[in-house]
Amino acid sequence: MSVKPEPVSALFAGPFALATLSAPDGPAFPALVTPDARVIDLRSALGDGPPDVRGLLEKWETVLPRLRALAAADGPDRGPLADFRVHAPVEPRQVFQSGANYRQHVIDLHVAHRAPGDDRPEEERRAEAAEIMDRRAAEDLPYVFIGLPSAITGPYDDVVLPTWAKQPDWELELAAVIGRPAHRVSVAEALEHVAGYTIANDLTDRATVFRRDMPQIGTDWLRSKNAPGFTPLGPWIVPAESIADPGDLRLTLKLNGETMQDESTKDMIFDVARMVSYASRSARLLPGDLVLTGSPAGNGMHWGRLLRDGDVMEGSVTGLGAQRTRCVAEGAA
């Protein structure tokens, strides 16, 4: 069972967004969605349209003008958005995730993840975290690691909490979607490779972040972040041209109606351009790939309240819409 999106007056900023939709019992298809919830099937509307959103992103420079024209026209559509299921907007080949990119969040996590045998007072560990962030910012070294596309699920789909995940937590994030291949690009040119933005909730099991059997290994992101469904994505991709400043967006996450995260991307240590540029130094970023930019303060470890069966998360980012996800314990009816 999935939680249905609630109707709103304007779904997102700008004249259109890209989505992956399906009719009941029908195949998924790439769609153009307007802010008033009009749906256009891009397979037929473009004539030679690719079968999925990633295919559109691979031709982004030539497709974008045609999408603008479709959004402005009064041509036929496939009916209201409410008639369709909303899937994750794209199936990426690569997912680049970022840690420790919001100042207050880093401090909170540093304090919460007390290493075995570390009995220093909280004030000392907070000061240590601030010093680490200052050093990282000066050296321009974001913390980027790899996530699995198989962890992605739709923005309104239920998320199954595995029995082994003892401390499942939320992490709302702004995600940049690549539209042009990027390899060793400078910070100045990095945003030219971003097609648009979407919302990601990077769920993390805090209990398995660090390997207790061999602490010197460090973090275990495979185990803690990549269970199926641990990355609710979407609901759509809003073109970059419709977002005036990705460094000035509000991220808000509510748990069962109560606000837990509420922060601006201004608090990011490394902005989107620096993230994309840094990831491209080592890897070749491909159209449809995601660059998650980290999560602000207000996660469950901060509140002492982690996810459990029946919880509903509602995440929104300025101009990008909102996702609504229910947690279901593994094995629950």
How many other CB atoms are there within 10 angstroms of residue 208's CB atom?
A: 20
pLDDT band at 6 (very low <50, low <70, confident <90, very high): very low
Instruction: Write down the pTM of the prediction.
Output: 0.91
When the pLDDT of each residue in the chain is averaged and rounded to a whole number, the result is 92
In a domain, 3, yes or no: no
Q: Which residue did the predictor score with more confidence, 68 or 211?
A: 68
What share of the chain has pLDDT > 90, as a percent? 75
Q: What are the tens digits of pLDDT across the range 51-109?
A: 999 999 999 999 999 999 999 987 778 789 999 999 999 999 999 999 889 988 777 77
pLDDT at 256: 98
Asked if 125 and 114 count as a contact pair (C-beta separation under 8 A), the reply is: yes
Please say which residue of 56, 86, 116 terminates a domain: 86
Task: Point out the domain boundary residue: 58, 86, 114.
Answer: 86
Domain's final residue, options 38, 61, 86:
86
**Are 59 and 78 in a shared domain?**
yes
Interacting residues of 333 by C-beta distance below 8 A, sequence separation 6+? none
Note whether 250 and 300 are same-domain residues: yes
Number of domains in the chain: 2
In a domain, 5, yes or no: no
- Which residues are 233's β-sheet partners? 200
Residue 54 within a domain: yes
| 268-284 burial code (b ≥16 CB/10 A, e <16) | bbbbbbbbbbbbbeeee
168 and 278, same domain (yes or no): yes
Is the residue at 9 inside a domain? no
**pLDDT of 12 strictly over 80:** yes
The alpha-carbon radius of gyration of the chain (Å, integer) is 20
Residue 29 sits in the same domain as residue 151: no
Q: Is residue 2 part of a domain?
A: no
pLDDT at 333: 53
Residue 10 lies in a domain: no
DSSP codes, 199-238: EEE--EEGGGSB-SS-GGG-B-HHHHH-STT-EEB-S-BE
- Residue 102 shares a structural domain with residue 39: no
- Binned at pLDDT 50, 70 and 90, residue 215 comes out as confident
Which residue is it, tokens 């298809």?
Answer: 29
Are both 52 and 99 inside the same structural domain? Answer: no
State whether 178 and 117 are in the same domain: yes
CATH number at residue 249: 3.90.850.10
Q: Are residues 142 and 67 in the same domain?
A: no
309 and 183 belong to one structural domain: yes
| Segment 5-21 mean pLDDT | 79
Average pLDDT over residues 233-256: 98
Report residue 2's pLDDT band, with 50, 70 and 90 as the boundaries: low
**pLDDT band for position 49 (50/70/90)?**
confident
Instruction: Note whether 30 and 161 are same-domain residues.
Output: no
pLDDT digits (tens, 9 = 90+) for 262-277: 999 999 999 999 999 9
pLDDT the model gives residue 25: 87
| pLDDT band (50, 70, 90) for residue 244 | very high
Closest of 213, 148, 203 to residue 313, by C-alpha: 203
Note the pLDDT tens digit of each residue in 36-45.
Answer: 999 999 998 9
Identify the residue whose tokens are 């080949």.
Answer: 93
Q: Is position 8 within any domain?
A: no
Query: How far separated are the first and last CA of the chain, in Å rounded?
Result: 10
- Give yes or no: residues 209 and 131 share one domain: yes
Assigned domain for 281 exists = yes
Q: Is the pLDDT of residue 208 over 80?
A: yes
Domain that holds residue 285: 95-329
Q: Is the pLDDT of residue 183 over 80?
A: yes
